[in-house]
Chains A and B, each alone.
Chain A
Amino acid sequence: MIPLMLVVGIRPYNRRGFRLWIPLFLVWLLLLPLVLVLLPLAFLVLLLIRVNPFRAFLTGWQILAGMKGTHIEVQDGKAWVLVRIF
């Protein structure tokens, strides 16, 4: 299952921060027509560079699906940054 939601949070030191919830399922829906248009082109390019396109697409999909559950949180004296994918 590909990730459906992205959370980005930023809080500068001593100031009010924000947390942005980005609905990825809407982004995927918006990108879908573009992907469908570019898919044959990508297929040809992969064939030209002698990479198995099916394997490449499968790996790309697995990377996308594997991102679900990623959590990155960095904090130093100046700011706090959070990226969560789920």
Chain B
Amino acid sequence: MNEERRRILEMLSTGKITTEEADRLLAALGSQQMGGSAAATSESAVKAAPKYLRVMVEDHREGTGKGPTQVNVRVPMQLLRAGVRLAGLIPQSALNQANEAMHEKGVLLDLGQIKPENLEELVNELRDLTVDVDDNGTKVKVYCE
């Protein structure tokens, strides 16, 4: 955290400025910091569009004593997009059955709501996302590259 940001947050915590003012100041600070390299940033943003979804799993728990179980999967985003389009072709009755089956398993997701345009949003958001799970010798990492 840089000095200006810290000062704004201190002013907010002491009540010298309101949350709206702090928000505006932080936004201005962010744009100021980014302004110098705006061209480079926009260029890198275009370049950084993720092409693949990477899932890595490492399981040290149960083993044959010959090493851990490792899974390394790279799925192209294009395949995910095509998969979503395929979901759009599935008849409504089949979608309902799939939704019910998922609800029974505790997955509250409506497949009918997944549209290609939503996927683009999701892919854009995934750019900066890394899911990192470490639990009792099992490591799972999901990220875009």
User: Measuring CB to CB, which residues of chain A are less than 8 angstroms from any residue of chain B?
Assistant: 13, 49-52, 55-56, 58-59, 62-63, 65-78
Contact = CB atoms under 8 A, between A and B. Distances in A.
B85 A69 contact: no
Nearest to A80: B70
A50 B93 CA distance: 13
A73 B65 CA distance: 20
A74 B71 contact: yes
Contacts of A68: 76, 78
Contacts of B73: 71-73
Contact of B67 (A50, A66, A70, A77): A77
B137 to A, nearest CB: 14
- The contact size tier of chain B is 20 to 34
Interface of B: 51-52, 63-76, 78-83, 85-86, 88-89, 91
Given A51-B89, A78-B66, A69 B74 contact: yes
A66 B78 contact: yes
A59 B65 contact: no
A75 B69 contact: yes
A63 B67 contact: no
Contacts of A69: 51-52, 74, 76, 78
A73 B89 contact: no
